[in-house]
Amino acid sequence: MKLKNVLIGAVSAIALAGAAQAAGQITVVSWGGAYSKSQVEAYHKPFIAKTGVQIISEDYNGGLAEVKAQVEAGNVTWDIVDVELSDAVRGCDEGLLEPIDKSILTAAPDGTPAEDDFIEGTLTECAVATIVWSTIYAYDKSKLPSGPTTMADFFDLAKFPGKRGLRKTPKANLEFALIADGVPASEVYDVLSTDEGVDRAFAKLDQIKSEVVWWEAGAQPPQLLADGEVVMTTAYNGRVFNAVAAENKPFEIVWDGQVWDLDLWVIPKGAPNKDLALDFLAFSTETEQLAAQASWISYGPARKSSAPLVGSYATKPDLDMGPQMPTAPENFKNALQNDFEFWADNQDELNERFNAWLAQ
């Protein structure tokens, strides 16, 4: 009798799973933490409500390694993945990603076609951008009341003694070093393309090397600041904003010399539910959804038409999100877009050099 019950249970379980399959189900992969939460609130929930499709939300740590492994093994389980621009382009070039037909994207509410509505450079062959994020540096206002204001201050140990937090990668750090050394944002990659420029950047980093605490995961910098381990640290602007808005930390962002980048949706080649994934992609990049996400985290929407719709922080009606965006005019004055071409070409060599420099 028992066995029979088990069998019946198993059969009905299979039947249920089949039913779910019929309604549809996609696996959405993103970076976790506050960022995933903002996507769940702004994209997933309305999409589920509208279509009844189930969404399995998975976290990962960035990079193309898993996508590459899945595609090469012919066993793709992810349907849609949130990646950085350099990975989106590279994955596309390497044939790891599906090309995306931009005609599926919804036009802006005022009728502007999607291709014109998206900020320039945010649509690529295989990817559609959702947000603009940036790497900035932040400090603890309670410890440094007359805080730093420029990128040069970050490298000035005499003026602001104490430990610094930096991400353990050459990306952004070399750019920061050159900006701090007086290179205008528009010339940074030109200078960095020369050997002298690279030497100059490392020389600038040498000035603070002994005081650096290196971080790797995005959640670390706010923690380092909160623990008093560092007086200032580079960080992703959304993470710092969340520590301020949700945890009332006395952190302050310095926007000078920010390096901004995009996060984009991509679909791995051979994704099991490609059509549903495209539906989700089109839905989530609608003007409304992108604007809604900006009330959960301080990353700028990739569509121009979303900017006016950005309201206040979801749980604090008096906290206006507009000035928190990397793209806000006063924050954007000395901003630099991460040059993925430069990094795609030079990352092997610069990584080696950076690691050798670290180990010295």
Q: Which residues are near other proteins by CB under 8 A? A: 61, 63-65, 68, 90-95, 143, 158, 161-163, 168, 209-214, 216, 227-229, 341, 344-353, 355-359
Q: How far is the CB of 154 from other proteins (least distance, A)?
A: 16
User: Rg (Cα) of the chain, in Å, rounded?
Assistant: 22
Pick the closer one to other proteins by CB: 233 or 284.
233
Pick the closer one to other proteins by CB: 171 or 239.
171
Q: How far is the CB of 190 from other proteins (least distance, A)?
A: 14
Q: How far is the CB of 122 from other proteins (least distance, A)?
A: 20
Q: Cα separations (Å) of 127 from 80, 124, 212?
A: 10, 5, 35
Q: How far is the CB of 219 from other proteins (least distance, A)?
A: 12
Pick the closer one to other proteins by CB: 126 or 281.
126
Pick the closer one to other proteins by CB: 143 or 274.
143
Pick the closer one to other proteins by CB: 196 or 348.
348
Angle between helices 340-359 and 85-93 (to 10 degrees): 110
**Phi/psi of residue 190, each to 5°?**
-65, -45
**Residue with the two structure tokens 């206002």:** 141
Q: How far is the CB of 348 from other proteins (least distance, A)?
A: 6
Closest CA to 239 of 129, 326, 342: 326
Query: Using CA atoms, how far apart are residues 268 and 98, in angstroms rounded to an integer?
Result: 6
Q: Show the DSSP H helices in the chain as ranges.
A: 2-23, 33-39, 45-51, 65-73, 85-93, 114-117, 151-154, 173-180, 188-192, 195-206, 220-227, 237-247, 274-284, 287-293, 340-359
Q: How many residues does the chain have?
A: 360
Q: How far is the CB of 302 from other proteins (least distance, A)?
A: 23
Query: Using CA atoms, how far apart are residues 339 and 110, in angstroms rounded to an integer?
Result: 32
Residue type, 337: Q
Query: Using CA atoms, how far apart are residues 330 and 326, in angstroms rounded to an integer?
Result: 9
Token couple for 254:
């310095």
Pick the closer one to other proteins by CB: 15 or 203.
203
Pick the closer one to other proteins by CB: 14 or 358.
358
Q: Are 127 and 100 in contact (CB under 8 A)?
A: yes
Q: How far is the CB of 31 from other proteins (least distance, A)?
A: 14
Pick the closer one to other proteins by CB: 4 or 159.
159
Token couple for 307:
């900017």
Q: How far is the CB of 351 from other proteins (least distance, A)?
A: 6
